[in-house]
Structure 1
Amino acid sequence: MAGHFEPLSGGGAAVALDEVEVSILRSLAVQLLELIGPGEDASGPDGADPLARLFAEGPSEPPSDPALARLFPDAYGDPGTEQDPRERAYAAEFRRYTENDLRDRKREDALAVVRSLDSLGAAGDEAAVLRLAPEDGRRWLGALNDLRLAIGARLEITHEDDSEALLRLADDDPRKPMVMAYLWLGGLQESLVDALMG
């Protein structure tokens, strides 16, 4: 079980994580939360109207940060190509009504990772076993995917072949730890998919 998720009887998945792995995963999830930004306070003093919240308008322009642009891509047009005016208008309209909800979901996924890691407590020298119910597993999948997208954007990975080239970086290359995290998260994500489907 060490290093990869395995299916639990009755659904869900489990993985053994040592103290360093827990620390790295938690740190990455917190950084993802900081990147996504704080959510709207739906429980404001006058009590937010749920219907008004549903139709609240969000941003219409894509984020300028490459990692956020990867997490919140335009719904129309091909990435990296110039949009025609009609596609740009459609993308802006779609973003206006969907990005806030998407940010909320991504924030909840990252928070689920932090909370489940915090619930492990101190395991000392022994690896702690993290058990995820199916719903928690889906949240973890979302967060692992978002972490890989954000790290991939920072590493300028546009194709899977790019990560192979980055793997051959010299050990003293400052990108090496980020590459190793990217690949490790990919292994965790793949094993979690297999465990949840098994």
Structure 2
Amino acid sequence: MFRPTKDGGASVWLSAGEASLLRTLVVPVIDLLGGASSGEPASVLDDLESLLDADEPRAPEDPVLARLLPDAYRDDPEAAGEFRKYTESSLREAKKYFAQTMLDTLPRSGGRVKLTGDQARDWLRALNDVRLMFGVRLEVTEDFEEQLAALDREDPKIAAFEVYGWLGAVQESLVRALDRRR
């Protein structure tokens, strides 16, 4: 899959189907985080407005968002809320930026993807978020292989589990490509 490049990045050739699948999977992450990223960081006024509007920030109710934006202090709701008040907005924006980087560098019809080192790291972050989203929706546990083996061969979830596994392979190949450059 991914190969290291001389400039510290990575490259890969994706089929049209693979590129389309990655696009299809990363867009819901952006949507969950609050819409399309402009690529620009939130302004200081936006951050201030969100601080003033937030009475008691709480962990999101959506299980995917709860995984993407976890509490910093699980045993102390007050400290978790205080931490969330100051960090959630920038974390959301960063995650949207990483996902948008993936979208911007994916060729619509497949083909070669050449990533700089920074873009490759953004892809890793975006892939991680896509896998978290997918894993939560599929209720994947640490026993992924056993879960997959236990499914009936006619179960429509099999395709989703295979996509989840493929995402892990893409992520691992990118990590290995970047690691080979060191």
TM-score range, shorter chain: 0.7 to 0.9
**Distance change >3 Å, CA 39–CA 8, structure 1 → 2:** closer
Structure 1 alignment gaps of length 5 or more: 78-82
Cα deviations across residues 88-144 of structure 1 (Å, max 9, x unaligned)?
100011111111111101111111111111xx3535xxxx11110101101100100
1:167 aligns with 2:156: no
Change (3 A) 1:61 1:39: farther
Q: Which has the higher helix share?
A: 2
TM-score normalised by structure 2 residue count: 0.86
Q: Deviations over 1:7-39 (max 9, x none)?
A: 011210011110110110011111211222226
The Cα shift of 1:40 comes to 8.8
Secondary structure of 1:16's aligned partner: strand
* Contact 1:8/1:14 (<8 A) preserved: yes
Residue equivalent to 1:100: 89
Partner of 1:52: 45
Provide the aligned C-alpha RMSD in A. Answer: 2.3
Written as runs of structure 1 = structure 2, the 5 A alignment for 1:14-163 is 14-38=11-35, 50-55=43-48, 56-57=50-51, 60-77=57-74, 83=75, 87-117=76-106, 120-122=107-109, 128-159=111-142, 161=143, 163=144
Percent identity for Structure 1 against Structure 2: 41
Q: Is the 8 A contact 1:11 1:133 kept in 2?
A: yes
Kindly state the Cα deviation for residue 170 of structure 1 after the two structures are TM-superposed. Answer: 2.6
Structure 2, unaligned runs of 5 or more: none
Correspondent of 1:195 among 168, 177, 181: 177
Q: Contact 1:39 / 1:104 at 8 angstroms: preserved in 2?
A: no
Question: What SS class does the counterpart of residue 12 from structure 2 fall into?
Answer: strand
